[in-house]
Structure 1
Amino acid sequence: MPSIFSYQSAEVDWCEGNFERSAVIAEYYNTISNVSFFVLSPAMLYLNRQYCQHRAVPLYFVSGLLILIGIFSMYFHMTLSYVGQLLDELSILWSLAVAYSFWYPQVYFPKFIKTRKQFFWLTGITTVISTLMSFVKPTLNAYALNCIAFHLLYLTWHELKKCNDKRVHRMAAVMVMWWALAITSWISDRWLCWLWQAINFPYFHSFWHVLIALSLLYCLPLVIYFNVTYEMPSLKPKLEYWPSDSWPVVVPYIALEEPHKQC
């Protein structure tokens, strides 16, 4: 009987050929492309350190879970094992659950939820149920998790209608662009594998890892911006770019300012 920790079958496989470039790594490029998550997490913490001074718990939780996503995704693509697949997908599920718990705007709570604590319980119970259901048909987990992005895009659209800052609108547009490229790469690798293997270019899933990390690099400051607007009214969020606005390649972050008081 095969071990759940070792290579299983093509059911959890991706388009890249197995063990072609390394005897100990099943999918070489799909594995090493996860380094993007190890860069994303410390970059988010460092650049948004002003926000971290006020709300350290959610930022540290989410950044730590992003590291776990990178670790478990690497393990999955290295081994193509059943346990690796579950760890990879459940780490994403729990990261989304934590982000929703801390950052979901209270104005969108269901009517029967009155406090953030009650919403924590609702999110926790839903996540536990989803975790148990993920063992039923693991191959459907990735599709279900990607569908959550549409709810996030819907929330972003709702919030942008109330925001007049053109820089924030541009950041949201860039986030959507990276996400669209990422999901296109994911779908292409999943559904057009025969084509990419025919031309010897089976790297779209590794592109997905990098592109979704770039999307998160824009998504997280956007979430922080709206969180400050809702829950930290004594501070004014301001979108900044590192290292400078004038550079062709920049990384967004949120600076916090004391609003000017009028007499």
Structure 2
Amino acid sequence: MPDGSPRMASILAYQSSEIDWCESNFQHSEVVAEFYNTISNVTFFIFGPLMMYLLHPYAQKRSLYVHCVWILFMVVGAFSVYFHMTLSFLGQLLDEISILWLLAAGYSIWLPRSYFPAFLKEDRSRFTRMVLITTVVSTLLAFIRPVVNAYVLNGIGLHIIYVVTLEYRKTSSAELKKMVLVSLAWWFLAVVSWLSDRLLCAFWQRISFFYLHSIWHVLISITFPHSVALMVCVDVHYEMPQYISEIHYWPKKSWPVGLPYVVVRDRKEPEKNC
């Protein structure tokens, strides 16, 4: 047997990951380690195709590469299912790496050119290649030192927050400002759920409430479409000056919770929402 085979078997093995969430293992199935953490990923497979459909008119005008973001969004859901089902080290790596590729795809498509490093001269193709190379290198290093992935993820995430903050200060649109605040609220609730599951597990186990990481999956799958809608509005402003953007909600704007998406219209039409 080749020397690498035992190592491969170990990273595929159930519960070979050092990460174990608060939910009790194998309580509802002999093959699913964390039942609720696994099935809660269903929102990724519902919202992904739906957002792809809702943003297709924008993608037709901008670039069909936009759809790659929603494909990767569903890949994140699939690898999260695999990880929580097995708690394997390979599942952990695939889960984390897929999130990195999702953020990198959105970053390369929607980051305004004015925020590119000066040496790229606002050339998006060069910027995309730089992001791709960084992501590939980070992916390879993650198999050696998984912590590398966390540093790159945090770096991209913090820069996106920085860009959104600057654009929030620039805009005069009340609706866009509201969207930023709503997105931050969803993100805050998601992070609180994630941290509570990790840091206060003993308390949640005492009261038999094991669902906070499951709630994180649902909340973050709602947060991401909000963040994309923000970046699309910014993108239309910078990359598509011949159009105006309007924020719409599915299924209805009047509903307390809905998924935002952006419709682009010719600038000759009078109403402008963001």
Q: Which amino acid aligns with 2:134?
A: T
1:168 counterpart = 2:176: yes
| 2:265 aligns with one of 253, 257, 263 | 257
- How many residues are matched? 262
Confirm whether residue 14 of structure 1 aligns to residue 21 of structure 2.
yes
Structure 1 residues 237 and 86: CA distance shift in structure 2, 3 A:
same
Match of 1:68 in 2: 75
Is 1:218 aligned with 2:226? yes
Distance 1:227 1:72, change over 3 A: same
Counterpart contact for 1:160–1:169, Cα < 8 Å? yes
Q: Provide Cα deviations, 1:183-238, integer angstroms capped at 9, x if missing partner.
A: 11111111211221122112111111111011112111111111111101111111
Given that 1:16 and 1:202 are in contact with CA atoms closer than 8 Å, whether structure 2 keeps it comes out as: yes
> Is the aligned partner of 1:180 residue 2:182?
no
Give the match for residue 27 of structure 1.
34
1:12 is displaced (CA, Å) by 2.2
Structure 2 unmatched runs, 5+: 1-5
Aligned counterparts of 2:31 and 2:21: Cα–Cα separation in 1: 17
Tell me which residue corresponds to 1:42.
49
Q: TM-score, normalised by structure 2?
A: 0.89
- State the identity as a percent: 48
**Unpaired segments of 5 or more residues in structure 1?**
none
- In structure 2, relative to structure 1, the CA distance for the partners of 1:194 and 1:144 (3 Å cut) is farther
- The 8 Å contact of residues 55 and 262 in structure 2, kept in 1 or not, is answered as yes
**SS state of the match for residue 238, structure 1?**
strand
C-alpha distance in 2 between matches for 1:109 and 1:72: 31
CA RMSD in angstroms comes to 2.0
Segment of structure 1 superposing worse, 241-250 or 34-43: 241-250
* Equivalent pair of 2:139/2:149 in contact (CA under 8 Å): no
> Which residue of the partner structure matches residue 193 of structure 1?
201
Distance 1:213 1:261 in 2: 33
Tell me the CA shift for residue 133 of structure 1.
2.5
CA distance in 1: counterparts of 2:226 and 2:269, whole angstroms = 30
CA gap 1:258/1:4 in 2 versus in 1, 3 angstroms: same
Runs of 4+ in 1 over 6 A off after TM superposition: none
Q: Conserved in 2, the CA contact under 8 Å of 1:236 and 1:256?
A: yes
**For residue 115 of structure 2, what is the aligned residue in structure 1?**
108
State whether residues 175 and 218 of structure 1, in contact with CA within 8 Å, keep that contact through their aligned partners in structure 2.
yes
User: How far did 1:147 drift?
Assistant: 6.0
The equivalent residue for 1:97 is 104
Contact 1:7 1:81 in 2 (8 A): yes
Once the two structures are TM-superposed, the CA of residue 251 in structure 1 deviates from its matched residue by 2.3
Higher relative contact order (CA 8 A, sep 6+): 1
State the shift of 1:5 in Å. 1.7
Which deviates further from its counterpart, 4-13 or 184-193?
A: 4-13
Q: Distance in 1 between matches of 2:168 and 2:56?
A: 24
Decide whether aligned partners of structure 1 residues 153 and 42 sit closer, same or farther in structure 2, where only a CA change above 3 A counts: same
Separation in structure 1 between the aligned mates of residue 21 and residue 243 of structure 2, nearest angstrom:
46
| TM-score normalized by the length of structure 1 | 0.92
Q: 1:85 & 1:34 partners in 2: Cα distance?
A: 15
